[in-house]
Structure 1
Amino acid sequence: HSSSIGDYAFNKDGSKVYYLAAFEKGYDLWVTEPRTRDTKILAKLGAGGGGLEISKDGKSLFTLKEGRLTKIDENGKSEPIGIAGEMELDAEAERAYILDHAYRQVVQKFYDPQIHGIDWKGFYTNYREFLPHLNNNYDFQELLSEFLGELNASHTGGRYSPSNPQGDETASLGLLYDERFPGPGLKVTEILAEGPFSKAASALKPGAILEKIDGIAIDNRTDWTALLNRKVRKNTLVTFRNTTDTKSLEAVVKPISLGEETGLMYARWVQRMKDEVHRLSGGTLGYVHVQGMNDGSFRDVFDEVLGENFDRQGLVVDTRFNGGGWLHDDLKTFLSGERYLDFAPQGNRLKDGEPMGRWTKPSCVLMSEGNYSDAFIFPYVYKQAGIGKTIGKPVPGTGTAVWWETQIDPTMVFGIPMVATIGRENRPTENLQLEPDINADLPYRDFLEGRDTQLAKAVEVLMQEVKGRK
C-alpha cells in the first residue's frame, strides 16, 4: 500500500528496516525484512511525525513523538521515557547574539557587496545600544526590522511568531452580515460558497436573523464572536429565523477557522472578477488570478486558462495582491506561445493545435502596488519580452531572491536578499520601479462599492487588441 514515509533505521546486518509510515491515521512504526519481503506493523503510534533511532545492540528503537520519547523493543512493546531538565536562559544575551549574527550575515550574504554604500557598521553600533532597554521579542522584532530597514532593500526585517496553542481562536460560520442591522441578532446578507451553511439541505437563507449560538442569545450587550471561541470544526447549534418563517429553526454545523474563511472570501472575489470580465467583454475575454508564485497557483492557472478559458479570444492575467515566490519563467513561457501547427481530421480544421500547453492568443497583465518579489519579476519580464500590455499601478522594485533564516530562538526570523536579478537595464531590479504601460487607478470609494476600474481598463485595452486582430 502507498503511504507517507517518515524516518527510518536499519539493524546491524541490514536484515530489518524499521520506519515510520502514515498509512491510516498518523505515523506508526513498521518493520520490513528486505530478504523475505515480510512487512508488518510493530507499534501503533498515531504520531504527526517525529524521529527514529536504533540502539547500538539493535534490540531497542527510540521514537520522538510530539516532544516525548518512547522506547520500543523488537517485539513491539513500548514504554515512555521520562525526561526532566532545566535550562537557564539569558534572553538578553540571546537577543544580542541574534543582532550580531544579522550584522555579520548581511556583510557576508547581501546581494550588493557595497551594501548600498551605507555605513553598515555604524548602524550596527547605534542599534546595539538599544538592546539593554528591551525585555521582550515584540520590541526586539521592531528593532531588528528597523536595523535591517537601513539597507533600503526588500525581503528584510525581523518577524516574531509566538506560539500560543491554548489561546483564543474565533471560528466562522461562513456568513456575511448586515453591519447596519440594529439587532438583536445578526442579519445574514450572504452565504459563502463551500462554507458550513453552503449545503443543499440547509434551511438558512439570505435575510435570516441568527438568534442564538449553542443556546445563548445574540443580544446587543455582548460580543457575539465570543460564542464562537474555540468552535472550529466542532458541532455547533445555531438558532435562526428566515424572513418567511413564523418560528425559529435550528441547524448543527461545524464552523471553520478564520484562515479558511479568508480562502472562501478569496474564491468569492475571484469569481466576481471572472463574472465582471465576462459581462464587460460579452464573453470574449477570459480571466485568471495568480494567487501566488508557486506550483499550486501555476496548476490553477494552467487548468483555468486551458480549461474554461480555452475558447476565449483574449486573457486578463491578474497578479494584484500577489506576494511572490518563484514562478516568473513558467508564466512568461506559458503566455508567450505562438501557433505553429493546426490539426485537421478529415479536412476539418480544429480550434486546437500546437503548442497545446501554452496560451497563444492576446493577453494583458494587471498589476498594482501590492505586487511583491516574484510578482514584480513576472510583469517585469512580461513587459520586457513584449508579450502584452501591463495595466494598473507602478510596482516597487523588489526582484531579489531572499534567505529567510530562523534564529537560535526559533520564534524569530529575519531575511537577507542574497541574489539580484538583472534585466535589460544592466542593473539590479531592486529599487527599480516598474511602470505600467497603461496607468489605471483603483479609487478607494470604487473598491469599497464593488467597482474595479483597473479591471475595466484591462478589458477595454484587451478588447481593442482583440478587435484589431480580426
Structure 2
Amino acid sequence: VLKIDLDGIQNRIIDIPIKAGNYSQLGVVKEGEILYISRPIDFSSPGKLHKYDFKKRKDSEVMELDGYEISADGKKMLYIKKRIWGISDAGEKPKKGKGMLKVDDLQVKINPVKEWPNIFNEAWRINRDYFYDPGMHGADWPAMQKKYEQFLPDLTCRSDLQRLMQWMFSELSVGHHRMSGRGEMLNKPKRVSGGLLGVDYKIANNRYQFAKIFGGLNWNPKLRSPLTEPGINAKKGDYLLAINGKDITADKNIYSFFENTADKIVELTIGLNPNYTGSRIVKVVPVANESVLRNRDWVEGNLKKVHEATNGQVAYVYVPNTAGAGHEYFKRYFFPQANKKAIIVDERFNGGGLLADYYINILLRPYQAHWNYRYGKDLKSPSASIQGPKVMIIDETAGSGGDMLPFMFRKFKVGTLVGKRTWGGLVGILGFPEFIDGATVTAPNLAIWTKDGFIVENVGVPPDIEVEQWPAEVIKGNDPQLEKAIEIILKELEKNPQKDPVRPSYPKRVRK
C-alpha cells in the first residue's frame, strides 16, 4: 500500500538537474529511480526514454520510443515505437531481437449484438455518475433505464442503438449531450475523394463557365486556390471545355470527372469561347475541400462592405469559434484594424470551444495615453484597442462558447447585440468516456450559473435588436443583419464621435 507522509512534505522536495524541455509520461520503476520521455518541441524526431537515478544524481538515455506502460508488479515494461510493440525489463533497453510482439497476427472475435446492452448500460451509468445535476433535471433516471432498455432486443444495427441512447438522453433536455463514433464498423467501404477548383459554375452555350473564382492565400496550404496559382491565369467567364482531354458539356456531371483528383495534377482545357477557339491547356492541382476558400471570401466580402459603408471608420472582425480558429481569426483581423474608431464583431455560426474572455478583455481596453517619437507617427497605448462604439452580430447557429461570448458582451456592457437569439448550450463537457467498441459518450458535467440562477441553457442569448436573415434577401446578395449592424454603429458614431487626439506643444525646459 502506498502511503504519503504529508507532514513537512514541502521540505522534502528536491530539484532534478535537467534543463527545461518537452517531457511526458513520468513513471517510477523502483525507489530512487524515475522514468520520463523527452521529445523535441516540434516533435521532429522520436521520443527518448530517460532514467534518472537519485542516488547517483545521474540522467541517462535508455532508448527511443513513443510510449510505455509499467506492469503492475513493476518488473516489466510494454512499449511502442513506430507502431512496433515490445516488452522489456522495466526501464531497460530490450536485448536485440528479444521481446518483440507480433501484433499483426492478433485477431479478436466480437459479437456486437451482445455488446449493445453493455454499451447502453454504460451510457446510462456514465450520466448517472457524472451529469452535473445529481437530480438529473428531475428525471427518474433508474426509470428511464427501464423505459428504454426494453427496446434492446429489437435493435438490428449499431445505428439503432445510437438512436435508442439519444432517446434516453433526451429525457434530460440538455445540450452537448451526444455520442461520437459508431464503434467497430464491420464494413468500411473505401472513400474516394473528389477534387474541387474553388469556383462557382454557371451554364452557358451547353458548357460549364466560371461564374466566380474564389481567391485564396496560395502560400498557405490550407488556403490554396487552384485557379489562382501562378501560371494558370483563369478568369471569370472562361469556359471549362475539357478535363484530362475529355470533352465536358452541360449535360454531364462535372464532378464525376474530378473523382480521386484531390492534390493530383489535372489537365484543364479552358478558353473564352465554347468551341475551343483560342483555348489553352493548363495544369492545376484540385483541393479536397473548398469550404475554407468560401468562408474567407465571405469574411473578406463583409470586411469590404463595412469598410466602404463606413468610409473606413469601422473594423469588421469575424470569429468562427472560441477555440483555435477563433483566436486565429480574431488576431488576424482585429490587430490590423486597431486604428479604427469602432468595431463590428460577427460571431454568426460560432461553433464554441472555450470561454472567450480573451476577446472581451481586448474589446474593453481603456485608453491610456499617446507616446511621441522623434520620427514616425505617435503611438496610442494600449496600441491594440478600440474605444469607440461596438456591435456584435449573433444568430441561432452560434452556441456553447458562442453563447458565452455575447453573454459577456452584454454583461460587461461592451455594446449592442444584433441578429437572432443564440443556440442556448452552456452546460459543457469535460471528458469523453469510451465504450467497449471505441465510440464515446458525453455526460454534460459543468453548468453556468450566476446570482440569477442557472442561465443560458435552453434559452440562449437574445439580441438587443432582432433581425431576421430572410432567404430571399440573402439570395439577392444582401445581409440584413450586417446591414443593420452598420446602420447602428454609424448612428452611434454620430452621437459619440471619436476625435483624434492632438499632440500638445513640446515643453520648454530652458529659461531665458
Q: Normalising TM by the smaller chain, what interval?
A: 0.7 to 0.9
Given candidates 111, 114, 122, the residue that maps to 1:101 is 122
Measure how far apart 1:157 and its partner are: 2.4
Alignment-derived partner of residue 351 in structure 2 = 323
SS for the counterpart of 2:320 is coil
Q: Distance in 1 between matches of 2:489 and 2:164?
A: 47
One-letter code aligned to 1:183: N
SS for the counterpart of 1:311 is coil
1:38-187 superposed matches below 5 A: 50-51=66-67, 63-66=80-83, 68-69=84-85, 82-83=102-103, 84-161=105-182, 164=188, 166-178=190-202, 180-181=203-204, 183-184=206-207, 186-187=208-209
1:188-208 Cα offsets, whole Å, 9 max, x none, are: 112221311112421322212
Given candidates 300, 308, 327, the residue that maps to 1:271 is 300
TM-score by length of 1: 0.82
One-letter code aligned to 1:340: Q
1:320-351 Cα offsets, whole Å, 9 max, x none, are: 00010113211221111111333234799935
Given candidates 447, 456, 467, the residue that maps to 1:440 is 467
Instruction: Say which is worse superposed, 135-144 or 319-328, in terms of deviation.
Output: 135-144
Alignment-derived partner of residue 389 in structure 1 = 416
Pair 1:313-2:341 in alignment: yes
Instruction: Say which is worse superposed, 111-120 or 450-459, in terms of deviation.
Output: 111-120
Unaligned runs of 5+ in 1: 44-48
Change beyond 3 A, Cα 1:10–1:96: closer
One-letter code aligned to 2:213: I
1:163-242 superposed matches below 5 A: 164=188, 166-178=190-202, 180-181=203-204, 183-184=206-207, 186-194=208-216, 195-220=225-250, 222-242=252-272
TM-score by length of 2: 0.76
1:218-367 superposed matches below 5 A: 218-220=248-250, 222-243=252-273, 246-258=277-289, 261-307=290-336, 309-345=337-373, 350=378, 352-353=380-381, 355-367=382-394
One-letter code aligned to 2:340: R
SS for the counterpart of 2:430 is strand
Unaligned runs of 5+ in 2: 1-20, 217-224, 498-512
Structure whose residues are more often strand by fraction: 1
Q: Distance in 2 between matches of 1:388 and 1:161?
A: 44
The structure with the larger Rg is: 2
Measure how far apart 1:455 and its partner are: 0.3
Q: Distance in 2 between matches of 1:407 and 1:325?
A: 21
1:18-51 Cα offsets, whole Å, 9 max, x none, are: 8776989x755779999999999x99xxxxx954
SS for the counterpart of 2:444 is strand
Instruction: Say which is worse superposed, 420-429 or 288-297, in terms of deviation.
Output: 420-429
CA contact (8 A) 2:79 2:86 kept: yes
Measure how far apart 1:133 and its partner are: 2.0
- CA RMSD between the two structures: 3.9
Q: Distance in 1 between matches of 2:459 and 2:175?
A: 11
Change beyond 3 A, Cα 1:28–1:331: closer
Instruction: Say which is worse superposed, 143-152 or 235-244, in terms of deviation.
Output: 235-244
Instruction: Say which is worse superposed, 421-430 or 318-327, in terms of deviation.
Output: 421-430
One-letter code aligned to 2:214: L
Pair 1:467-2:484 in alignment: no
CA contact (8 A) 2:422 2:462 kept: yes
One-letter code aligned to 2:206: G
Give the total of aligned pairs.
455
Q: Distance in 1 between matches of 2:410 and 2:150?
A: 46
Q: Distance in 2 between matches of 1:106 and 1:33?
A: 41
Aligned-residue identity in percent: 21
Measure how far apart 1:414 and its partner are: 2.4
SS for the counterpart of 1:391 is strand
Instruction: Say which is worse superposed, 262-271 or 424-433, in terms of deviation.
Output: 424-433
1:283-302 Cα offsets, whole Å, 9 max, x none, are: 11110000110144224313
Q: Distance in 1 between matches of 2:439 and 2:70?
A: 33
